[in-house]
Amino acid sequence: MTMKVGVLTGGGDCPGLNSVIRAVVRTIHNDGGETLGLLEGWRGAIEGNAIKLTPESTDGIIDRGGTILGSSRTNPYKDESSVGKLLDTFKNLELDALVAIGGDDTLGVASRLYSEHNLPTIGCPKTIDNDLSSTDVTFGFDTSINIVMEAVDRLKTTAESHRRVMVIETMGRHAGWIAWYSGVAVAADYILVPEVEPNLDHLCEVLIQRRQGGKPFGIVVVSEGAALSSVEGLVTQDAEIDEFGHVKLGGVGEQVADIIEKRTGFETRCVTLGHLQRGGPPSASDRVLGTRLGIHAGRLVVKREFGRMVALRGTQIVSVPLAEAVGTMRILDKGILEEFGEFFK
Ligand code: F6P
């Protein structure tokens, strides 16, 4: 029997989502089935807002950033009546399966819907933050670090002209993947990540040493989640909280820039890259990874192997139980930090 499959994208968007959507649609179509796109994440599933997707309508989307379906941080479990509405949508649209493309929050909902309501869900991991535990890498991350790299390459020339220190604040929430990888790629003088207790004295010493050694500018990459709470008087986050209970991060870069300028005397500027890191076309690598994950998610649907998430392990796409895949954040491991630590002495 052919299938009718829903697909949605939830949480913060990232480059590569459209590659997954296109691949899911194609795989389901090849099996004789059809795909509906639920709009704006779980909100569309609750409100019954969907559009028909075909291989033709999704063929030209691989190079587009964002998601053609729209996204939101709607959490159906915020209010039990929403879960009921979501289950009604599933029945009304006569869906046989649902592919949820998202980060830990979106996949956590997919996991609960499967375990608590036996809803046939499949998960596909995405996030620029690269912080999901059951997959070696998430699509969106590669594009994001390339965006940061290009931005810093530009910032270097103006920093050099003005003999300034540039502090670049990156996204990544409580994992330092974006800051660390992009920082290494631009030969930053210092990188601050949430995984390492900040030592601002050491940071300033390194900048001073390098200036004395003849380098006329400095580059410091700071992850938005860098834990400056141990530095007196600094607050790194405001009180705004989303439906999944996450605080909105941001502002730490400005604070670090301030401290550097005061302690070293070097003129310092901060650039917060913000949502630029999630925008625009995906890298080739993210397009390929998204496509592979989409094909495998579609194949799990066809085989009716529900309650699972597709994942990259080494060079292979595998699947893991959704329940095991959610709830644990993957942070930078010590080995990676130590390797590049050679450059920050
Ligand atoms: O999880 C992706 C991410 O871009 C984080 O790096 C960042 O902290 C957050 O989303 C920003 O969220 P919003 O788009 O809601 O401002």
Atom of ligand 1 nearest to the CA of 248: 8
How remote is the CA of residue 181 from the centroid of ligand 1, in Å? 18
Q: Under a CB-based contact definition with an 8 Å cutoff, are residues 99 and 24 in contact?
A: yes
What confidence score (pLDDT) does residue 340 get? 86
* Span(s) in the chain for CATH 3.40.50.450: 4-139+282-325
Find all residues with CB under 8 Å of 235, minimum gap 6, and list them. 229, 251
Mean pLDDT value of segment 121-149: 98
End-to-end alpha-carbon separation of the chain, Å? 63
Q: Which pLDDT belongs to residue 338?
A: 92
Enumerate the H helices of 200-283 as residue ranges.
200-212, 252-264
Q: What's the confidence (pLDDT) of residue 240?
A: 74
Give the per-residue pLDDT at 231. Answer: 56
Confidence band for 45, pLDDT divided at 50, 70 and 90: very high
Residue 238 is predicted with a pLDDT of: 56
From the list 13, 105, 129, 131, the catalytic residue is: 129
- What is the mean predicted confidence (pLDDT) over 94-110? 98
Pick the CATH number of 142-279 from 3.20.20.140, 3.30.465.10, 3.40.50.1110, 3.40.50.460: 3.40.50.460
Q: Are the beta carbons of 154 and 167 closer than 8 angstroms?
A: no
Residue nearest (by alpha carbon) to ligand 1 atom 14: 12
Percentage, residues of the chain above pLDDT 90? 90
Distance, in Å, from the CA atom of 36 to the CA atom of 96, rounded to the nearest integer, reads 11
What does the mean pLDDT of the chain come to?
A: 95
With a cut of 60, say whether residue 73 has pLDDT above it: yes
| 297-321 pLDDT tens trace | 999 999 999 999 999 999 999 999 9
pLDDT at 261: 98
Q: What residue's CA is closest to ligand 1, atom 10?
A: 12
201 catalytically annotated: no
Both tokens of 165, joined, read 């220190």
Q: What is the pLDDT of residues 1-11, one digit of tens each?
A: 789 999 999 99
Q: Per residue in 202-228, is it b (16+ CB within 10 Å) or e — as a string? A: ebbebbeebbeeeeebbbbbbbbbbbb
Nearest to 163 by CA among 208, 206, 217, 219: 217
As a whole number of angstroms, the distance between CA 168 and CA 269 comes to 9
Which part of the chain has CATH 3.40.50.460? Answer: 142-279
Burial class (CB in 10 A: 0-12, 13-18, 19+), 279: middle
Q: Which atom of ligand 1 is nearest to the CA of 103?
A: 1
Ligand 1 centre distance from Cα of residue 308 (Å)? 25
Choosing from 71, 75, 129, 275 the residue with most ligand 1 atoms within 8 A of its CB, the one to mutate for a pocket test is 129
Instruction: Say if residue 71's pLDDT is above 60.
Output: yes
Q: Is the pLDDT of residue 61 over 80?
A: yes
Q: Which CATH class is domain 4-139+282-325?
A: alpha beta
What residues flank ligand 1, with Cβ below 6 Å?
Answer: 12, 103, 127-129, 171-173, 224, 249, 278
Range of weakest confidence among 35-44, 227-236, 333-342: 227-236
Pocket test for ligand 1, best of 40, 75, 148, 248 (most atoms within 8 A of CB): 248
- Residue 239: per-residue pLDDT: 59
* 312 bridge partner residues: 317
Question: Which pLDDT band holds residue 237 (cuts at 50, 70, 90)?
Answer: low
| Nearest-angstrom CA–CA distance, 97 and 110 | 11
Identify the pLDDT of residue 91: 98
Cα-to-centroid distance, 180 and ligand 1 (Å): 17
Looking at the predicted structure, is the pLDDT value of residue 342 above 90?
no
Residue whose C-alpha is closest to residue 288's, from 107, 142, 98: 142
Q: Which of 170, 178, 183, 176 is nearest to 143 (CA)?
A: 178
Strand residues in 93-230 grouped as ranges (E): 97-102, 121-125, 165-170, 190-192, 218-223
Q: Nearest-5° angle of CA 264, CA 166, CA 239?
A: 95
Per-residue pLDDT of 75-101, as tens digits, reads 999 998 999 999 999 999 999 999 999
User: Which pLDDT does position 229 carry in this prediction?
Assistant: 62
What six digits make up the tokens of 237? 């986050």
d(CA 124, CA 110): 10
How far is residue 191's CA from residue 198's CA, in Å, rounded to a whole number?
Answer: 10
Which of 171, 174, 182, 246 gets mutated to test ligand 1 (max ligand atoms within 8 A of its CB)?
Answer: 171
Residue corresponding to tokens 């405001």: 238
% of the chain surpassing 70 pLDDT: 97
Three-class secondary structure of residue 95 per DSSP: coil
pLDDT at 294 over 60: yes
Cβ contact 46:82 at 8 Å: yes
Nearest to 6 by CA among 36, 34, 44, 26: 36
Distance of CA 87 from the midpoint of ligand 1 (Å): 28
> Which residues face 222 on adjacent strands?
169, 192
